[in-house]
Structure 1
Amino acid sequence: MNTYTTTEIAKIIGIHPNTVRFYEKWKLIPKVERKENGYRIFTDFHIDQFRLARTALQVEILQNGLRKKAVNIIKTSANRDFIKAICMTEEYLSQIQQERFNAEEAIEIVKNLLSKKEKFNSISLKRKEVSVYLNISMDTLRNWELNGLLDIKRKQNGYRIYTGEDILRLKIIRSLRCANYSLSAILRMLNALSENPDIDIKNVIDVPKEDDDIITACDKLITSLNSAEENANFILSHLKEMNKKYNPPF
């Protein structure tokens, strides 16, 4: 059986030795035996587990517990329960695919709403009426306004009045938020749409601007979900290989 030191493991995996110790502390790898002098002894199993964990933790998607599920898969594999880890990964992959379907579907809903924009022209509602009409909380409406997603005009008495155009915009925002697009990605798309009604919505909402300071996974949701699916397929294949290697049939 091959054995490795902390420094050798770090070099093989391409991480800092301190990261190796963190993985051990977080129980993302199997228990590490030690020599009499206290030095850690790693095996090929640890190398495979590190590669699995590194791939799983590359996923930036956090919504609906996906990150937590990835961590649970890693820990289950570290305990040599590969069959369970494989089943968990299949469920994880299925959820990622559903998230991507939701993201794609939201784009189609937006296109459909924009094609029927004239039907909203006669609408004029107060904030509370909008909250009931769209089933959106007052706090959510305030949050979207504070984040610049819409600018509502006021009457002389100070009351906000939502026009048909505002309602259409809110329906678009609601559809995209339900699919977990970020507020910044939605704002980017809405601004681009106001400049050019014929833009490729899917492309604009999935490609952050070069001068954006902070970019999250939900700012490029479809791309991130595609990457997550690719990683999940690798994890699934890797787990099956680990199961053959470390739990061979009798």
Structure 2
Amino acid sequence: MDTYKTAEIAAAIGIHPNTVRLYEELELISKPERLPNGYRIFTDFHIEQFRLARLAFQVEVLQNGLRKKIVQMVKKSAARDFDTALALTQEYLAQVRQERINAEEAIEIVKKVLSGASQEDKHFFKRKDVSEYLGISMDTLRNWEMNGLLTVKRKQNGYRVYTDKDIRRLKVIRSLRCANYSLEAILGLLSRLSQNPSVDIKAALNTPKEETIIAVCDRLIISLSAAEENAKQMICMLQKMKITYS
């Protein structure tokens, strides 16, 4: 197996030597052996691991635990625990696909609001039911409510009751959060939408460009599609690494 110095592996991957050391500190690559003079010695496995990590982190916008899961995957592969890394990547891929479905649904919800289509409340849900249905923790729901993203009605006994309208609003919030928008930015978008659904929703985000909820979700779908393709490549890379380096 070939060996490489820090500068050589940095040149091979196309990164700065300091980035090589940072990846080592973060345990995104396995710890290289050292020569008596202290110089690090890297191998072909390190090159493959760097390529895997850079592919894994290529899509930056995603939240909802996706980033955390993919970091965990990279660390497991660096430790040569390829079975766990593969399982994590499969979970990541499934979640990316679900988030894309969620974003597409959010677009349809907003389009109906903008068109003025009638959407009656036919169902009522408890917070626990909403948490399980939407895959959102109860703590997250509380946080969104405390930050003004949602005002939930209460029964006479004090229990919160979520309506169909609340569910639709939460689905939109969920996708905007996945797209890495702040709670303040989301509140601005939703406030503008509820004040006057017929207007073009602009200048409501803390971003350089004016955007609409639909534009945000469209861009999220593009990012999720890229993440899906990357995940498929990562699975192939991990399978090859398992055969070669186990």
TM-score range, shorter-chain basis?
Answer: 0.5 to 0.7
Could you tell me which amino acid in structure 1 is paired with residue 38 of structure 2? G
Shift in Å, 1:68: 0.9
Scaled by the length of structure 2, the TM-score of the pair is 0.66
* Percent of aligned pairs with the same amino acid: 50
* RMSD across aligned positions (CA): 3.6
Q: Deviations over 1:152-184 (max 9, x none)?
A: xxxxxxxxxxxxxxxxx9886543103335364
Q: Deviations over 1:12-62 (max 9, x none)?
A: 111110110011111111121011111100000000000111111223244
Q: Report the counterpart of residue 47 of structure 2 in structure 1.
A: 47
Shift in Å, 1:64: 2.2
CA contact (8 A) 1:61 1:218 kept: no
CA contact (8 A) 2:114 2:197 kept: no
Aligned equivalents of 1:209, 1:193: Cα separation in 2: 23
Q: Report the counterpart of residue 96 of structure 1 in structure 2.
A: 96
CA contact (8 A) 1:110 1:175 kept: no
SS at match of 1:59: coil
Shift in Å, 1:70: 0.5
1:223 aligns with 2:222: yes
The structure with the largest alpha-carbon Rg is 1
SS at match of 2:41: strand
Q: Report the counterpart of residue 244 of structure 2 in structure 1.
A: 245
Shift in Å, 1:80: 0.9
Aligned equivalents of 1:230, 1:171: Cα separation in 2: 30
Shift in Å, 1:110: 2.7
- Relative to structure 1, the CA distance from residue 219 to residue 116 in structure 2 (aligned partners, 3 Å threshold; closer, same or farther) is closer
Q: Deviations over 1:119-152 (max 9, x none)?
A: 78xxxxxxxxxxxxxxx8797486459xxxxxxx
SS at match of 1:63: coil
Q: Report the counterpart of residue 180 of structure 1 in structure 2.
A: 176
Could you tell me which amino acid in structure 1 is paired with residue 176 of structure 2? N
Q: Deviations over 1:209-233 (max 9, x none)?
A: 7578xxxx97932122112112111
Alignment of 1:161-240 (within 5 A): 173-181=169-177, 182=181, 184=185, 187=189, 190=193, 194-195=198-199, 210=209, 220-240=219-239
Return 5+ residue gaps in structure 1 as ranges.
121-135, 146-168, 198-207
Q: Deviations over 1:66-96 (max 9, x none)?
A: 1111011001101111122111111110011
CA contact (8 A) 2:114 2:198 kept: no
Return 5+ residue gaps in structure 2 as ranges.
121-140, 151-164, 202-206
- Relative to structure 1, the CA distance from residue 65 to residue 137 in structure 2 (aligned partners, 3 Å threshold; closer, same or farther) is closer
SS at match of 2:176: coil
Aligned equivalents of 2:63, 2:51: Cα separation in 1: 24
Q: Which has the higher mean CA deviation after the structures are superposed, 185-194 or 53-62?
A: 185-194
Aligned equivalents of 1:93, 1:241: Cα separation in 2: 18
Q: Report the counterpart of residue 37 of structure 2 in structure 1.
A: 37
CA contact (8 A) 2:55 2:234 kept: yes
SS at match of 1:179: helix
Scaled by the length of structure 1, the TM-score of the pair is 0.65
